[in-house]
Amino acid sequence: MATLTEKKKEPSPLLPTTSRFSNSTAHTTEIPAQHAPSPTAAHPPAHLVAPFSCNFNDPRIAPQRKAFLKAMIFGGIFLTIVIFAVFSIYWGALYLVPCGKLKGWVVDLDGGRIGNSTLAALQEANANPAGTVDWQIQPASRFVGGAAEIADRIVNQNAWVAIVINEGASDRLSNAVANVDASYNSTDAITVFVNEARQENAFRSLIRPYLWKVLPTLAERFSEELSSELATQNPGSVVNILRNAPQIITLPVGYTIDNLRPFDYPVATAVTFVGLIYLLVLSFVIVQICAGARFISGLETKLSTVSLIKTRIVTSFIIYFFISIFYSSLTAAFQVKFGRKYDSAGFVIFWMLHFLAMSALGLALESMITLLTPRFIPFFVILWLLSNVSVAFMPIDVLPSFYHYGYAFPFWHVSSAIRSILFRTKNTLGLNFGVLIAWVCVSLISLPLFQWFMRRRMITKIAAQKAREANEAPPVAAPPVPVPQAASLPPQPESEKAGRWRQVGKMVGRVPVKGKGKTPETINEKDTPVTEETGNERGDVGEDRRL
């Protein structure tokens, strides 16, 4: 008889496998294929490269090297654009100085010969386009208080400089000529009132050099006229004057420069100009510290939008408050006197000024770092710094009209307020503080808007990323079911009919008792017990024929 013995075969991947056992039905199981690892690529992924093991030209880090060079090249290109677009603001401010003229007054309190000559000379100087002062003749009747009132007007910044021909100057010269007065002092004829502390750079580079050029020319011309007149009218008097009082002929008209508010604290430059740059740098560092603290602590992503906005604003004000007092204390440590104009309140005003200045400068950066992110905020810092510096080193009056925006920028107002506190210049604190507060308010409006916009954008981005990951994720495969071995199969229950037939078979000796004789694998077709299922396979009919 043909045997039913089958050889065991290895299950083919993803193909049904059938095993036939005694008293059991066929079991089919899908077995997933086991894939061997793919061959190692020529350049393994970056995460498979050991740390600190590559040189720059290593082919294993080619993607990283490409990304690095791309970022460097595009960063350099963008920085070049910034140089030409932003640095030009500062270079342009220097290039055309002076683009305009400073307002100057000429007041003739004398009404005589010296006054007339001075007015004529300065009107002629106005015609020179190279001049730095626009001389405006003011009537003496406008100044009831005389020279003292004119000086007060200069302190109050009604003009940058005033040339005053003192009352009785011509009469004193005539008496000196007539009496050959050796005590004659020509410098009493003209007084020049200036206010250096208003803008020391303007005084040192524009006003004073121009005065040194115009006034000596005026005195020399007047000396020639007087000498010619005396030589014509009384030649003998010329010799007598030259022998006993030569200054009457050689320098009949002189001048005195009265610096009403000298810039007498050299260390003040640290707070009126250069220190403003440091103030902005400090504000930027504080912005970076606050941003880093939020990211390190996780508050940036844990807090709600409203809580995050409140946290950013409150923490900024707190740190500006304390840093500004330390900054102000540093200035006081170098013997700068704050009580010249405002007495004991001077230091507090100075402190509050720098608190508002840091708030105005820093909150603007706090707002922009939200929109630009830390990656691009340095470029805005360059713009913010140069646009402020360009209008603080020289009077805006002598800059091109483009730079008139400086009247609304923080640096100009901080510098103006400091000069009022330290040097007793015009009190403009109300305007200065008002502009700084306005900048703070602008930032308090823009910061929540930018934060809300970026938070909405982040939420949308995260939602889109999750949806994309869900769509791209492969279906989860069911774990493979192991194929049971013959020895481990549980005994199959027999039907009632099969049991009766087995007992009959035992009586006739055709079917071996279980556990004796042949094993299920060696039972041939003749010895196979006829069950309900196997009987149907062999074509046997029902139970009546078996019995």
Query: Contact 393/313 with Cβ under 8 angstroms?
Result: no
What is the pLDDT, as a whole number, of residue 265? 86
d(CA 192, CA 122): 13
- Tens of pLDDT, residues 394-432: 999 999 999 999 999 999 999 999 999 999 999 999 999
What is the pLDDT, as a whole number, of residue 170? 92
Weakest mean pLDDT among 30-34, 409-413, 446-450: 30-34
Strand partners, 516: none
What is the pLDDT, as a whole number, of residue 162? 96
- Tens of pLDDT, residues 182-210: 899 999 999 999 999 999 999 999 999 99
Biggest distance spanned by C-alpha atoms of the chain: 180
Q: What is the DSSP string of 479-498?
A: PPPPPPPGGGPPPPPPPHHH
Cα of 352 vs its chain's centroid, Å? 23
Return the structure tokens found at 43: 């350049």
The predicted model gives 353-366 an average pLDDT of 96
- Tens of pLDDT, residues 46-57: 567 888 888 998
Cβ-based burial of 422 (10 A; exposed 0-12, middle 13-18, buried ≥19)? buried
The predicted model gives 429-449 an average pLDDT of 97
495 pLDDT above the threshold of 70 = no
Query: Contact 178/197 with Cβ under 8 angstroms?
Result: no
User: Bigger pLDDT: 164 or 506?
Assistant: 164
Confidence band, pLDDT 50/70/90 cuts, at residue 277: very high
Weakest mean pLDDT among 26-30, 344-348, 428-432: 26-30
Give the CA distances from residue 290 to residues 148, 372, 375, 451, 455, in Å, rounded to whole numbers and listed in that order. Answer: 53, 16, 16, 15, 18
With a CB cutoff of 8 Å and minimum separation 6, the contacts of 508 are: none
The amino acid sitting at 235 is P
d(CA 193, CA 153): 10
The predicted model gives 163-173 an average pLDDT of 93
Confidence band, pLDDT 50/70/90 cuts, at residue 519: very low
Q: What is the pTM (predicted TM-score) of this model? A: 0.74
User: Quick one: which of 274, 278, 101 has its CA closest to 202?
Assistant: 101
User: Quick one: which of 387, 540, 518, 395 has its CA closest to 5?
Assistant: 518
- Tens of pLDDT, residues 531-540: 444 444 444 4
Strand, coil or helix: 163: strand
Sheet with 190-194, edge to edge strand ranges: 133-138, 102-108, 161-165, 190-194, 255-259
Confidence band, pLDDT 50/70/90 cuts, at residue 94: confident
Query: Contact 299/308 with Cβ under 8 angstroms?
Result: yes
With a CB cutoff of 8 Å and minimum separation 6, the contacts of 72 are: none
User: Quick one: which of 408, 359, 418, 402 has its CA closest to 388?
Assistant: 408
User: Quick one: which of 342, 534, 484 has its CA closest to 422?
Assistant: 342
End-to-end CA distance of the chain: 25
Could you give the angle at the alpha carbon of 200 between the alpha carbons of 148 and 339, nearest 5°?
65
134 φ, ψ to 5°? Answer: -95, 105
Confidence band, pLDDT 50/70/90 cuts, at residue 493: low
Weakest mean pLDDT among 151-155, 289-293, 393-397, 528-532: 528-532
What is the pLDDT, as a whole number, of residue 11? 45
What is the pLDDT, as a whole number, of residue 470? 84
325 pLDDT above the threshold of 70 = yes
Location of structure tokens 């010296």? 114
Q: Is the peptide bond before 529 cis (omega within 30 degrees of 0)?
A: no
Confidence band, pLDDT 50/70/90 cuts, at residue 515: very low
Query: Contact 397/351 with Cβ under 8 angstroms?
Result: no
User: Bigger pLDDT: 307 or 474?
Assistant: 307
Query: Contact 43/62 with Cβ under 8 angstroms?
Result: yes
Q: How many CA atoms lie within 13 A of 64 on its CB side?
A: 14
What is the pLDDT, as a whole number, of residue 48? 75
Helix runs in 245-345, H state only: 247-250, 269-272, 274-297, 299-302, 305-333, 339-342
177 pLDDT above the threshold of 80 = yes
